[in-house]
Structure 1
Amino acid sequence: MISDDFETVALASIMINDTVEVGKTDLKGFFQVDIPASMKKIIFRSVAIEPATIELVDKCDEVEVVMMLSGTYDFMTLKKVDRHRKKKFKRLPELHKEAFAKGIFKTDKACYTQQFTPHYKKK
């Protein structure tokens, strides 16, 4: 597991069912957890990094995640903050490929899907 600036994410919590912690990444960002086959949704959380919720696809043995660093957005509306965040989010697949090219990841694309979670909710 790495951040969007290619630094390892150490001691990130790995959770299922929104509240059950099943493990943590080690100091080099690696992890190994056993998850029930029926469980497809995994959440990764760490300090100063936005939570990443992924949904596994079939035959996914190697999960390599790029997480977005969380930022401070002073004097901006939530709508504008979400535009900045979404722009960063859209780059995650490209960063995954770049991590593969640099030898950080073993696969060139993720074996999971991930949806953008906005802060701003329309009324």
Structure 2
Amino acid sequence: MKKIVFIVLCICLIQVCFGQKSTSITGKVIDQDLNTLPGVELRVSDSLIATTNLNGEFKIELDREVKKVTFMFAGLEQTPIVFDSECKKLEIVMLYSGGDCFATLKKNDKMRKKRFDKIPSIYKQAYEKGIFEYDKPCGEIQFISWLKL
């Protein structure tokens, strides 16, 4: 009888130890005009892991080792987010892509960076209107310079 109890306890302990390898993350994606975005692709290492629903919401299961998810949508800037294991809710603002056809790459990059720097105020607006639960992102949104591609 003691052996059976011991084996059952070992199995339960193994499940608890190895069952913690993934984490569940939920979230919502909007554009810079506070519109929800259906069909946004969520990617990890160029692999599609999920897309947002009609309300711009998503739920994903990730390995605890994954610390970066990239959000992609046609006509919008690619948006990589770096987060820690404590982050359970990602609220994402995506910016419109593009620039001035007659400007240099450097000038376009500068204009894009200026738009990127407005993201914290967009978060605050989304929070004040009840679109987001938090007034700042859980993770760090990374700016991708066109000059470094």
Larger helix share, 1 or 2: 2
Note the residue ranges of structure 2 that are not aligned, 5 or more in a row.
Answer: 1-28
1:91 maps to what in 2? 118
2:59 maps to what in 1? 32
Segment of structure 1 superposing worse, 96-105 or 108-117: 108-117
2:42 maps to what in 1? 14
SS at 1:63 equivalent: strand
List per-residue Cα deviations over 1:4-51 (Å, max 9, x = no partner). Answer: 11111110100101x111100011100001111100010000111111
Residue 78 of structure 1 contacts residue 120 of structure 1 at CA under 8 Å; is this kept in 2?
yes
Cα separation, 2, equivalents of 1:66 and 1:115 = 12
Residue 99 of structure 2 contacts residue 111 of structure 2 at CA under 8 Å; is this kept in 1?
no
Residue 43 of structure 1 contacts residue 54 of structure 1 at CA under 8 Å; is this kept in 2?
yes
Matching of residue 78 in structure 1 with residue 105 in structure 2: yes
Q: CA RMSD in A?
A: 1.4
Give the ranges of 4+ consecutive aligned residues of structure 1 lying more than 4 Å apart after TM superposition.
Answer: none
Q: Calculate the TM-score normalised by the size of structure 1.
A: 0.93
Count of residues paired in the alignment: 121
Pick the structure with greater CA Rg: 2
SS at 1:33 equivalent: strand
Q: Work out which of the residue numbers 70, 83, 101 in structure 2 matches 1:43.
A: 70
Cα separation, 1, equivalents of 2:80 and 2:140 = 9
Q: Calculate the TM-score normalised by the size of structure 2.
A: 0.77
1:4 maps to what in 2? 32
Residue 14 of structure 1 contacts residue 42 of structure 1 at CA under 8 Å; is this kept in 2?
yes
Residue 57 of structure 1 contacts residue 113 of structure 1 at CA under 8 Å; is this kept in 2?
no
Note the residue ranges of structure 1 that are not aligned, 5 or more in a row.
Answer: none
Larger strand share, 1 or 2: 2
Percent identical among aligned pairs is 34
Cα separation, 2, equivalents of 1:83 and 1:57 = 29
